[in-house]
Homo-oligomer: A and B are copies of this chain.
Amino acid sequence: METTNAQKPIGVFDSGVGGLTVLKALTDLMPGEDFLYLGDTARLPYGTKSRESVVRYALQSSRRLIDQGVKLLAVACNTASAAALPALEAAYPGVPVVGVIRPGARAACALKASGGMAVIATESTVRNGAYQRAILELCPGMRVEAQACSLFVALAEEGWTGGPLVEQIVEKSLAPLFARFAPSRPDSLVLGCTHFPVLAGAIANVAGPKVTIIDSAVTTAHEVKALLAEHGLLQSPKRAGQSRFFATDGCERFARVGGVFLGRALDPSDVTLVDL
Contacts and interface: CB of A to CB of B under 8 A. Distances in A.
A145 interface: no
A44 interface: yes
A48 B151 contact: no
Interface in A150-208: 150-151, 153-155, 157-158, 160, 165, 168-169, 172
A69 interface: no
Number of this chain's copies in the assembly equals: 2
A250 interface: yes
Nearest to A150: B154
Nearest to A155: B151
Nearest to A171: B165
Contact of A165 (B123, B150, B172): B172
A249 B154 contact: no
Contacts of A249: 48
A275 B251 CA distance: 32
A115 to B, nearest CB: 27
Contacts of A42: 48
Interface string A34-45: 000000011010
A20 B235 CA distance: 55
A136 to B, nearest CB: 24
Nearest to A157: B150
A48 B150 CA distance: 18
Contacts of A41: 48
A184 B34 CA distance: 51
Contacts of A158: 150-151
Contacts of A48: 41-42, 44, 249-250
Interface of A: 41-42, 44, 48, 123, 150-151, 153-155, 157-158, 160, 165, 168-169, 172, 249-250, 253
Return the 6 tightest CB-CB contacts between A and B, nearest first.
A154-B154, A151-B154, A151-B158, A165-B168, A150-B154, A165-B172
Given A165-B169, A169-B169, 15 more contacts: A41-B48, A42-B48, A44-B48, A123-B253, A150-B154, A150-B157, A150-B158, A151-B154, A151-B155, A151-B158, A151-B160, A154-B154, A154-B155, A160-B172, A168-B168
